[in-house]
Amino acid sequence: MKLAGKTDVGRVRQDNQDDYRAGKLPGDAAWLLVCDGMGGARGGREASQGACNVIERCFQEQYASKCLPGEEETFLKKTLLSANRFVFQKAMQDEALAGMGTTAVCALVRSGRVYLCHAGDSRAYLFRDGRLTQLTHDHSYVQELVDCGTITVEEAEHHPQKNIITRALGVDYRLDSEFTCQELQNGDLLLLCSDGLTNAVPRDQLEQLLGTGSFYDLPDQLIRTANENGGPDNITALLLSVEPMEVRNG
């Protein structure tokens, strides 16, 4: 597996409230995380960075002992809950950070599958055979309108309340994160990103970029394209490539 990622402030915002982390794990596994903070410049940064720090520490210190086969959902949900409580308590202790929160989309890749846990509208996608498939379901007001048939997917793309999210880390002591998993194949690309990418780069353009670029250049290319399209928000793109296993003779 290969990993590559980048974050950028964009063309409009003064501060970058996105954060991301990724790393290799024992047993040819890997983890990836993207967070998009909210609650003002300082609050958004504190929320996303704080959540990333907690989740990274959970993978470093607890993964080997607490994420045995079959325990992926429990481990990921508890990990996001730990980050949620950290951000919530920090916001309660500092008036300047009141109301802060962050989205989170976290992936664990091992044994031919990706396990995903998320809250908010940061997304995970699978790119396979030239086609991009969204693996996560947005926790947003506009997505709820789509789900109940009030508006179409096309109308949702330009809805004025598109930025209202219905779940996030840090806004409540409880957290209702969502879990899903997907089988992977050799040659697959996994993309985790903030809405600064998906709001600026249409799906067909994402597919074109992912299908033609060199892997380690892809984060730069995706962010450059989002900025060329206006860069209205912070942009984060984090990628994992599922590599074919080497065949050794002799």
User: Which domains, from first to last, does the chain contain?
Assistant: 2-138+167-229 (3.60.40.10)
Number of residues written out for the chain: 250
pTM of the model: 0.93
Provide the residue-wise pLDDT of the chain in tens; the chain has 250 residues: 999 999 999 999 999 999 999 999 999 999 999 999 998 778 999 999 999 999 999 999 999 999 999 999 999 999 999 999 999 999 999 999 988 999 999 999 999 999 999 999 999 999 999 999 999 999 877 767 877 888 777 666 776 677 788 999 999 999 999 999 999 999 999 999 999 999 999 999 999 999 998 999 999 999 999 999 999 999 999 999 998 643 333 3
Alpha-carbon distance values, 87 to 84, 93, 95, 160 (Å): 5, 10, 13, 28
Residues with Cβ within 8 Å of residue 139, at least 6 apart in sequence: 118, 119, 120, 121, 165, 166, 167, 168, 178
Nearest to 168 by CA among 108, 236, 99, 115: 99
